[in-house]
Amino acid sequence: MSLNAWLPDELIIGGVVIWLIIVLAVFCYSLIFEAYYYCYKKTKLAWLKSWINPLQVLTGALPLLGLLGTIIGLLDTFSVLSNNASFSLSDSIGKALLTTEAGLIVSIPAMIMLWKLQAMIEQMETKHAT
């Protein structure tokens, strides 16, 4: 059995960039959930403070990776279009936009969770200061 039989078409169409988005999203979400756990337990404040900024940067990179995938897909589309006049342009552009959609879908909830997490960390800091 080939790998194509096991994977959805979107993961194959998106290429390497979609896999980078998935790996980075899993890494970010695992750290976010770990940070929420530590906030709930009210422990490891130093760990929480040290990871909040890198998490914001990594989460912000997710839609940029999606845009990179879209640019790569559009470049591939136009190179094929220049060689083949019977090529479906709308279908190819839709496939190219898949990575942008994936980047936005995983980054927006993560950013909201990070804003809430940052507020919880600030609240923990003020309680520890008093």
The per-residue pLDDT string of the chain (130 residues; one tens digit each, 9 = 90 and over) reads 566 667 677 667 768 888 999 999 999 999 999 999 999 998 888 899 999 999 999 999 999 999 998 898 888 888 777 777 566 677 777 778 888 999 999 999 999 999 999 999 999 888 877 7
The set of residues, in sequence order, having a beta carbon less than 8 Å from that of 97 and lying 6+ positions away, is: 70, 73
Dist. CA 58–CA 3, nearest whole Å: 29
- In degrees and rounded to multiples of 5, residue 43 shows phi and psi of -130, 170
pTM given for the model: 0.84
Measured CA distances, 85 to 19, 39, 82 (Å): 31, 58, 7
